[in-house]
Amino acid sequence: MIELLPPGADHVIALRASGQVSADDLQQAIDAIEALKKTQSRVSLYAEIDEMRWMTLTAILRDLGYGLTQIGDIAHYHRAAVVTDRHWVRPLAKLESRLFKPLEVRVFGTHHKDAAKEWVRQLPQAAAPDRAAG
């Protein structure tokens, strides 16, 4: 199951995955992301996944397919904060952060939820104007 959570910022999608995640559950998250992309120039994701047991095969395939469609639109994404104490998530997050630049992915332990929420709410700062050039 995927439950959408209060995002904490206009550009954030927040969710909690628990139990079994089906393709329909995943589609709910995809639809929320796509709707937000229509109104925000950058989108960030906050995900709690400690209670997730497994994904159905169709959910895995939908997740993979959606991810591949987003490669050409990756500049629309800013950050992904994953909150979990499951150690197998860390290497996957590190790989995703390297493969899908400029998306920055970080894993936070469950006792650092507040730090994860604060980090994902931040948007990139505009470069300061060069005062010497004027």
Counting as low any pLDDT under 50, the low residues of the chain are: 127-134
- Predicted local distance difference test score (pLDDT) of residue 130: 46
How many Cα neighbours within 13 Å face the side chain of 19? 6
Q: Please, what sign has the CA dihedral across residues 73, 78, 82, 83?
A: negative
> Strands 77-83, 2-5: parallel, antiparallel or unpaired by DSSP?
unpaired
Query: How far does CA 42 lie from the centroid of its chain?
Result: 12
pLDDT score for 5 = 94
pLDDT of residue 9: 94
Q: What pLDDT does residue 118 have?
A: 96
Residue 41 φ then ψ, to 5°? -75, -30
Q: What integer pLDDT is reported at residue 68 of this predicted model? A: 66
